[in-house]
Amino acid sequence: MHKFTFITLLLIFNIWFNDTNQKYKKAYFASGCFWCVESIYENLKGVKEVNSGYSGGKTTDPTYRQVMSGRTGHAEAIEVIYNPSEITFKTLVNVFFGSHDPTTLNKQGPDRGTQYRSIAFYENSIEKEIIENSITELLFNKTYYKITTEVLKFKAFYLAEEYHQDYKKKNPYNPYILNVSAPRINKFKIDYSELLK
């Protein structure tokens, strides 16, 4: 009897766990310092979680110091875990292009280097088309005169060190957060108020 109950509970948990995981998708973006970008996406309705990390390069499991050297090929990036029934990939892409300057090569605000470059990652042809169509539309509408964003096939995401996760929440009075991240996040909140939690 106990064995039957345990197996039944295990099956129920497995079904619930799989349903919960299948409900969410992941998207990856790089648009400058991940402390700021993480905070922007965490404010969106339909986003369950955002992780800071590294992507776009060749070094396996890089450290922050290695990425900052500019020799790994990686950029500071974020992993967005979202519910596609609440927020679409296209909306995430719109937020990406609207919350940073995609016209500057290897630079965002005071941060310079390939590790701060603009990258929109795709996992399939539909996502690639959404990104490319967004770029075409932004250029056609003269929102930007040029776009330096790389459109890359997603290969791997390496989670950044623990102290980088939720950095803005843990360090609200850090000078970089106050002078660089906060103004960028506040502008985003004004421009995308309808998408906020």
Which residues are catalytically annotated?
Answer: 33
Residue 68: C-alpha distances to residues 72, 114, 171 (Å): 9, 9, 20
Please name the residues in contact with 56: beta carbons below 8 A apart, sequence gap of 6 or more: 30, 73, 74, 75, 77, 117, 119, 121, 150, 152
**Three-class DSSP category at 26:** strand
Please name the residues in contact with 143: beta carbons below 8 A apart, sequence gap of 6 or more: none
Compute the distance between CA of residue 50 and CA of residue 28 in angstroms, rounded to an integer.
10
